[in-house]
Amino acid sequence: MDEVRGVAGTMKKSRKRFLFTLCGQTGATGLSLVTLWLALWSESPSPAFFGWATLALMVFRVTVRLSNGPKLILESDQVVRHARRVLSTEVAIAMMFICAAFLLGWPLTRQAALAFFGLNLAAQLVKLLAVRVVLTYMRAREPRHHDRSCEQQALIIGTGRQAKAIADQLMDSPELDTLLIGFLDYHRNNLWRYRDVPLIGHPDRLPEIIATCQIDALIIAVEAVDLPQTREVFEIAEQMGVTVCLMSEIFPTQVSRVRSTSISGLPSLVYRAVPENPLALLAKSLLDRIGALVGIVLTAPIMLAAALWVKLDSPGPILFKQVRTGLNGRSFQMLKFRTMVVDAEARQAALHTRNEMSGPVFKIKDDPRITRPGRFLRRYSIDELPQFFNVLMGQMSLVGPRPPLPKEVADYEPWQHRKLSVKPGLTCLWQVNGRNSIDFEDWMKLDLEYIDNWSLLLDAKILARTLPAVFKSDGAS
């Protein structure tokens, strides 16, 4: 009798989903027709044209819907992600319709076709937003065990932190069309439950549970120590045709961000502890090159005057080329105007006891090795202007952690090496927060804070604060 009820319930749910999909496609087609009518307002096409247009739009829409396949079991219908799906769908439908119109000689001019394309896309996105707002409100008001016809049922293997996090997401986000029916766990007993969702047994019972409970998806969220014995569970779900979602946080992370990818067709998880936004990073690279060119042009008279002063004041080269450590430990020659006597590095050992900085960095106030022009150039950071050429060559960025010396890097603690995971820069949070008045550990923390919170807006704020800091000579020596 229970099996009969289960089959009847499944058939009823399938009918409701079919009707729900049919109504949605019909409504979307009607909206497309309204936009088509608006696009052809001045041309007054015949009723027969709109009849054929209705049939074509419905056929195209159903065809695209079927070609997309079923929605991923745990795919969020949040507006941004769903909007991308709507965008690709409506572009395909509009292109198919416009091609059919031109091939069949329908009264659709190029201007009207473009108007239809734009109006239809805008209307479908507005419809998406309205539908999602209404559905989210309605689902939030439904009881926990209400029979929601579009929901699919999921089971979580695991009861740890990661399993609870995904359970919270499923239960607290009405836009996810997935109902959590229970947990399976290797270690707990059947009395355990989380937020009124029960533990329904050991993973060994998975075949029985899949066969009797209409499971649509299995979410594997076990701890790392349980992964070896989860292989059999995965194979069972795969054999029985159940979608398997493997939670990516196999190893707990502190700062890394995880994304899925493939290497030569093999699925892979990538853990990155640095910013990963291709468009923003591309924009940063372009702005670096443009900013470096602008900086070189604007400061050319200042650099020329500084070069003459350095050359006339003391013997030695105008530029000081120093090996620094850049992105991921790569060495490069950083350019500066020479502000010290030629044998400055050889004389550093005798001054070691006067070092005023903590950690591996060496800086002292009133350094006797600094030349007369060097004090002025350092005070207003003019000595660093040649680094615009390092930025132009791609060795540095306008904004980023200051590049350290190789001997400083050799004394870094493991957590401090993350500073090298991004390209070094002309200015950074340390530069605009007091420079030499900040001790080494706080300096490192500011660099890591920059990496963890990087954005183009943050770069703009740092650049905006750099000039006032330079003119005030805050922390300079």
Domains by residue range for the chain, with CATH: 17-141 (no CATH), 152-252 (3.40.50.720), 278-472 (no CATH)
Phi, psi of 445 (to 5 degrees): -65, -35
3-class secondary structure for 142-189?
CCCCCCCCCCEEEEEECCCHHHHHHHHHHHHCCCCCEEEEEEECCCCC
Residue for token pair 């409970």: 213
Q: What is the DSSP string of 18-82?
A: HHHHHHHHHHHHHHHHHHHHHHTTTT---HHHHHHHHHHHHHHHHHHHHHH-SPPTT----HHHH
Which residue do the tokens 């020659």 mark? Answer: 333
- In whole angstroms, what is the distance from residue 426 CA to residue 222 CA? 45
Task: Look at strands 197-198 and 178-184 and give their pairing.
Answer: unpaired
Whole-angstrom Cα Rg for the chain: 32
C-alpha pair distances (Å), 186 with each of 226, 243, 404, 415, 467: 8, 21, 49, 35, 60
CA distance 390 to 166: 46
CA–CA distance, 92 with 99 (Å, rounded to integer): 11
Would you tell me how many other CB atoms lie within 10 Å of the CB of residue 113? 20
Distance between CA atoms of residues 469 and 380, nearest Å: 9
pLDDT in tens for each of the 477 residues of the chain? 333 333 334 344 445 545 555 566 677 777 777 777 777 766 667 777 777 877 777 777 777 665 554 444 444 445 555 666 777 777 777 778 778 777 877 777 777 777 777 777 777 777 777 776 776 666 556 554 444 444 678 899 999 888 998 898 888 765 566 789 999 999 887 789 998 899 999 999 999 998 888 888 899 988 878 888 888 888 888 888 888 888 766 666 667 777 776 665 666 677 777 777 777 888 898 899 999 999 999 999 999 999 999 999 888 899 989 999 998 888 999 999 998 887 767 667 666 666 655 556 666 676 778 888 888 888 888 999 999 999 999 899 999 999 999 988 888 888 888 888 889 999 988 777 766 567 778 888 888 889 888 888 999 999 988 888 777 665 555
Residues 44-80: tens digit of each pLDDT: 677 777 778 777 777 777 776 655 544 444 444 455 5
pLDDT tens, position by position, 107-136: 777 777 777 777 777 777 777 777 767 766
CA distance 267 to 269: 7
User: 259: buried, middle or exposed (CB in 10 Å: 19+, 13-18, 0-12)?
Assistant: exposed
Q: Could you tell me if residue 264 is left (phi over 0), alpha (psi between -120 and 50 degrees) or otherwise beta?
A: left
Q: What are the residues whose beta carbons fall under 8 Å from the beta carbon of 348, sequence distance 6 or more?
A: 362, 369
> Taking a C-beta distance cutoff of 8 angstroms, is the pair 418, 450 a contact?
no
Q: Are residues 391 and 397 in contact, defined by beta-carbon separation less than 8 angstroms? A: yes
